[in-house]
Amino acid sequence: MSNFLRYQINEENLYIYDNDSGLIFNIDESLLTIISRERKSESLERDTFHDYNMEYYDSFLKKYDNTCKSISYKGKKKLTIEDIKKHIENFGMKQLIFEITEQCNLRCKYCIYSDNYPYHRNYSKKIMTFEIAKKAIDLYMYYFIKMFQYNPKKRPTFTFYGGEPLLEFKLITKIVEYVIKKYSFYDPMFNITTNGTLLSSEVIQYIAKVKDFYISISLDGPKEEHDRNRVFSKNKGSFDQIFNNLMKIRELYPTLWKNLNFLACYDFGTNIYKVEEFFENVDLPSLIRVSMVEPLFSSYYKRFSLQEKNNFIKTYFCKKKQYIENIKSGEKTSRYSDLLFGTSLFSLYNRFKFYCNNTFFTSFTGTCIPGDKIYVDTEGRIHICEKINSHFSIGDVYTGLDLNKILRLMKKYDEEILTKCGTCPISRVCGGCYATFATKRLFERPEVFCESRIKSTTEDLKDLTEILIHNPTYFRNKYHK
């Protein structure tokens, strides 16, 4: 047990999170020493045991070893193209994302396509052609149909992204009609991620007629919070225009209203109390994600003073403490707080989904296998997802997925990132991935990332343990309905 995390929730109770197995133990110092040496195959001196019950130790270690073996956390093998091909055809192609355009009618201050993020592209006038879109669809469906044989309940999912995709609404309608005409047997679903300013009557009327077309709208909270960052080119806020569009949908298209959801971002300037109040009290469809504005490889946070940062952190942890206490006592929590604080806690609670028998990486961190979904840019290049920068393509719509590129990419990531994660106490629940560490054709891991992630995971483990002690059925009741 060379990579475990030790934490305490009070002076009496010592816990360890064992990264190799995913197990959490409430133990004493002597047992911690025994497990550590046993994992290293070291001999144990008699004084290690002090006066504790030897029978108890033997029983515990047998159960521990059997559990670890059943989880199968060892066994890396040499990665081959055939492994990648088999994985994609059996489990991949969950989603095709179109970069419809690199244009946008907003200039949000934290956008990854702004000058604050040097490794990402900037805005441009590039637009995807319908020919590229058709090739992307047919390529995706070629792989999806293979996967469908093993997973007949899966549905192909097509997502429109940008830029602001509604700037090219006519192209979107052509894509939808093409998919429905050619692949309706597979019951396709559609999504669009939009800033919400261009939801005109024409757009709304069309989307409302399409079966299972979902709209994700970026909305950071009430007007003063949203307009602080999400602005037009002349710094005019976008909240009023978005909200007017929303009210029109609610009034005229109640069925479509149910297919809306919201994505919110926060930074050191966010008043999380006001944002929570907004999403709790305003009659809106579901909020599905709350994300921090990306801090890595960015100059964005230079705009905040040290005092602003410290004030936010103080407020954040005060609010989180209140949230944990509410859960422990069985009180209702808000959707905003569930996403802001609860997402990471549930991921830890549900951590064994990361503990699959993955043999592709030196140290598995939850990183996907390229091809799980694909993102096609305006020029037809294929990328791992919508979050990674444009320097790591894995094929194009003309020649298909390049399995050799994927193999090289995975080996590169393994060598530049994961070989350094071998002794990390939280690598299995880290969540870092290609997009997190991508620079210009290299993967780099800032030390500040690891320090911050270990610290936050330690705090989350403490909170998770407290919740399970005081309200042991909370996660099962809330997330497994």
pLDDT per residue, tens digit, the chain (481 aa), is 457 899 999 888 889 898 878 888 887 766 667 666 665 665 555 454 554 556 666 666 676 666 666 554 444 567 789 989 998 998 889 999 999 999 999 999 999 999 999 999 999 999 999 999 999 999 999 999 999 999 999 999 999 999 999 999 999 999 999 999 999 999 999 999 999 999 999 999 999 999 999 999 999 999 999 999 999 999 999 999 999 999 999 999 999 999 999 999 999 999 999 999 999 999 999 999 999 999 999 999 999 999 999 999 999 999 999 999 999 999 999 999 999 999 999 999 988 776 554 555 555 566 888 999 999 999 999 999 999 999 999 999 999 999 999 999 999 998 999 888 888 899 888 889 999 999 998 999 988 999 999 999 999 999 999 999 999 999 999 877 5
Copy the structure tokens of residue 356: 């699959």
Please state, in angstroms and rounded to a whole number, the distance separating the CA atoms of residues 32 and 14: 9
At 357 the pLDDT is 42
Q: Look-up: residue for tokens 């995390």?
A: 5
CA 479, chain centre distance (Å): 17
Instruction: Tell which residue, 152, 16, 45, has the closest CA to residue 90.
Output: 152
367-to-10, 96, 248 alpha-carbon distances in Å: 34, 18, 41
Name the residue among 122, 104, 85 with its Cα closest to residue 166.
Answer: 104
The three-state secondary structure class of 162 is: coil
DSSP H helices, 12-80, are 29-39, 54-71
pLDDT the model gives residue 181: 98
d(CA 110, CA 114): 7
DSSP three-state, residue 108: coil
What the block records as the tokens of 234 is 């002349």
- Class of residue 75 by CB neighbours under 10 A (exposed 0-12, middle 13-18, buried 19+): exposed
Measure the CA–CA gap between 358 and 366, rounded to whole angstroms.
Answer: 9
Q: How many CA atoms lie within 13 A of 280 on its CB side?
A: 14
- Confidence (pTM): 0.91
Task: Enumerate residues 6+ apart whose C-beta is below 8 A from 153.
Answer: none
The percent of the chain in helix, strand and coil, each rounded to the nearest 5, is 45, 15, 40
pLDDT at residue number 184: 97
Q: How many CB atoms lie within 10 A of CB 228?
A: 18
DSSP string, 434-479: HHHHB-SSSB---HHHHHHHHHHHHHHHHHHHHHHHH-TTHHHHHH
What is the structure's pLDDT at 10? Answer: 85
Q: Token pair of 283, please?
A: 């009659």
- In the chain, the N- to C-terminal Cα span, in Å, equals 35
Strand order in the sheet with 14-18: 4-8, 14-18, 24-27
